[in-house]
């Protein structure tokens, strides 16, 4: 193949062998929506496709959504409380996560320039983690933030960012779902990942034929 109009349409003859079940597609979409707490969308999608979902499904979504909103907007302590309510012992068995959530609160205090409070909080809540070596370095990172009058300009500024908070929230989501014996990664995510890996391998084999390396974005854009 020298040129292909649509990346996705490479090997169309092969695709013809694969039948796709509508209900499978619906499941994939629904699970994605549930995972990411799009409650209203879940309701309307389920109604449109005629899928039924149990009531506590929606309840679970609502609770998780509340936790993540708190964490993202900087109310980490409330997020922890709600998590404890929803999934008791979760944080006990996920020390890394517990530390990350507590440090979100610490960061919030630093950003509001409440340094003395931040220091106290660190001493009471974060220091106990310091008994394990792997937390010592993380702790040092956070303590260093205190030394700067403008923490946004310090080398550790990434700890203050939204991306960091989002990462913590994602980990929390996965942990909660895992504890509820639900998949911590959506089928959608896994399917896309698989496609990328397979395509990459195939392209590598054909690399000498002059095919460019695989790019997921280009593939999806057709």
Partner 1 sequence: MARLLQSEEDEVIGSKGVIKKVEFVQIIAKALYSLGYKKSGAHLEEESGIPLHSSAVNMFMHQILDGNWGESVATLHSIGLKDESTVKSASFLILEQKFFELLDGGKVMDALKTLRTEIAHLCASSNQLRELSSNLVSFSHDLRAKSRPKLLQELQELLPPTIMVPERRLEQLVEQALTLQRDACVFHNSLDREISLYTDHQCGRDQIPSRTLQILEAHSDEVWFLNFSHNGKYLASSSNDQSAIIWEVGTNGEVSLKHKLSGHHKPVSSVSWSSDDGKLLTCGVEESVRCWDVSSGECLHVYEKSGPGLVSCGWSPDGKSIFSGVNDRSICMWDLDGKEVENWKGQRTLRISDLEITRDGKQIMSIFKETAILLFDREAKSERVIEEDQTITSFSLSRDNRYLLVNLVGPEIHLWNIDGDINLVAKYKGHKRTRFVIKSCFGGSEQAFVASGSEDSQVYIWHRGSEELIGKLSGHSGSVNCVSWNPVNPHMLASASDDGTIRIWGLNSHLQQHKKLQQVHSNGGSMAAAYNGRT
Q: How far is the CB of 137 from partner 1 (least distance, A)?
A: 9
Query: Please, are residues 193 and 199 in contact by the beta-carbon 8 Å criterion?
Result: no
Q: How far is the CB of 83 from partner 1 (least distance, A)?
A: 25
Q: How far is the CB of 130 from partner 1 (least distance, A)?
A: 6
What token pair was written down for 58?
Answer: 């929606």
Q: State how far the Cα of 95 lies from the Cα of 167, in Å rounded to an integer.
A: 16
- Residues numbered 68 to 127 that lie near partner 1 (CB under 8 A) are 115-116, 119, 122-123, 126-127
- Residue nearer to partner 1 on the CB measure, 78 or 138: 138
| Burial of 145 from C-beta contacts in 10 A (0-12 / 13-18 / 19+) | buried
Among 11, 140, 152, 218, binds partner 1 (CB under 8 A): 140
- Residue nearer to partner 1 on the CB measure, 143 or 216: 143
Residue 143 interacting with partner 1 (CB under 8 A): yes
Q: How far is the CB of 46 from partner 1 (least distance, A)?
A: 50
CA dihedral 32, 34, 40, 45 (to 10 degrees): 60
Report how many residues bind partner 1 under the rule CB under 8 A.
Answer: 20
| Residue 6 three-state SS | coil
Taking alpha carbons only, the member of 3, 166, 97 closest to residue 83 is 97
Query: Please, are residues 176 and 83 in contact by the beta-carbon 8 Å criterion?
Result: yes
- Residue nearer to partner 1 on the CB measure, 43 or 141: 141
Among 31, 36, 154, 186, binds partner 1 (CB under 8 A): 154
- Residue nearer to partner 1 on the CB measure, 34 or 109: 109
- Residue nearer to partner 1 on the CB measure, 127 or 166: 127
Among 155, 158, 201, 221, binds partner 1 (CB under 8 A): 155
CA angle 99, 103, 106 (to 5 degrees): 150
Taking alpha carbons only, the member of 94, 198, 108, 200 closest to residue 145 is 108
Residue 209 interacting with partner 1 (CB under 8 A): no
Query: Please, are residues 53 and 46 in contact by the beta-carbon 8 Å criterion?
Result: yes
- Residue nearer to partner 1 on the CB measure, 21 or 124: 124
3-state secondary structure labels for all residues of 66-82: HHHHHHHCCCHHHHHHH
- Residue nearer to partner 1 on the CB measure, 143 or 196: 143
Question: Which residue ranges make up the site for partner 1 (CB under 8 A)?
Answer: 115-116, 119, 122-123, 126-127, 130-131, 139-141, 143-144, 146-149, 154-155
């Amino acid at each position: 193949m020298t040129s292909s109009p649509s990346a996705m349409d490479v090997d169309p003859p092969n695709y013809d062998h694969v039948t796709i079940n509508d209900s499978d597609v619906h499941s994939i979409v629904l699970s994605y929506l549930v995972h990411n707490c799009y409650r209203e969308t879940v309701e309307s999608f389920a109604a449109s496709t005629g899928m039924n979902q149990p009531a506590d499904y929606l309840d679970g979504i609502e609770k998780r959504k509340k936790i993540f909103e708190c964490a993202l907007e900087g109310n980490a302590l409330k997020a922890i409380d709600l998590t404890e309510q929803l999934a008791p012992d979760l944080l006990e068995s996920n020390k890394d996560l517990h530390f990350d959530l507590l440090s979100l609160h610490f960061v919030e205090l630093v950003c509001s320039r409440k340094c003395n409070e931040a220091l106290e909080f660190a001493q009471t809540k974060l220091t106990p983690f310091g008994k394990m070596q792997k937390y010592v370095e993380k702790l040092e990172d956070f303590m260093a933030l205190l030394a700067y009058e403008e923490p946004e300009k310090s080398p550790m500024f990434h700890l203050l960012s939204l991306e960091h908070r989002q990462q913590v929230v994602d980990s929390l989501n996965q942990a909660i779902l895992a504890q509820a014996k639900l998949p911590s990664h959506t089928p959608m995510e896994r399917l896309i990942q698989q496609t990328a890996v397979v395509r990459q391998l195939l392209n590598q084999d054909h690399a000498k034929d002059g095919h460019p390396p695989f790019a997921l974005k280009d593939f999806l854009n057709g």
